[in-house]
Each structure stands twice: as C-alpha cells, then as structure tokens.
A = this chain, B = another copy of it.
C-alpha cells in the first residue's frame, strides 16, 4: 500500500520538466504567487498556469486563492516520496528486502514524518 503507483507516476512526470523543477526550486525558498513565479519566464501566463496545475495534480504544490492572488506552496512531503522510492531501490541492490528498515533509513535525512 506504500506505493500507490499513480502518485509516483504524477510526481515523476511533474518533475520531468525544467520549468516545473525550477518552480519547485523557487518554492523551496518560500511560498509565492503565480505571477511572481511566472516572472522572467519566456512563456505566456496560461501556458505557465498549466505547469502549476501539473504540480498541483502531483501533490507537489498546494495553492490557495486570496482576493485575486493565488499563492503556491511546496509540499515537501511529496518530494520525500521520491526519496523513499530511491531508498527502496537501494535496499534492493543491497539485497535487503525487509520493509521495516525503510522507516529507520528514512530518518537519517529528515527526522520529521514518522507515522
């Protein structure tokens, strides 16, 4: 149940684009509005909006609208999903298939979300 494949599909797909990775990078420094994120990009606003929607669909970004401004924020937890996937792969290489170890290994880099 840990790996809903659909979610990973969306997450990896969302990250497979330089514009979107750049947005993730930007939001890493803190929340920002859509037009703020779009500034300086050689792209129309509607086109850029699609990228934001893709990031939202992947759950990497959450947005809220206040007045006429939509503010975007990064969801770090979703990015940790990538880390978890990678960690699982490493476990396979190393021949350790025991799932319990997953939670332990995870805490070495970010000791926050142990359910």
Contact = CB atoms under 8 A, between A and B. Distances in A.
Interface stretch (A6-14, A32-40, A61-69): A6-14
Given A21-B85, A79-B86, A90-B109, 14 more contacts: A8-B15, A8-B16, A8-B21, A9-B16, A9-B17, A10-B16, A12-B16, A24-B89, A28-B92, A29-B92, A76-B93, A79-B89, A82-B82, A83-B86
A110 interface: yes
Interface in A34-90: 76, 79, 82-83, 85-86, 89-90
Contacts of A109: 90
Complex copy number for this chain? 2
A28 B5 CA distance: 18
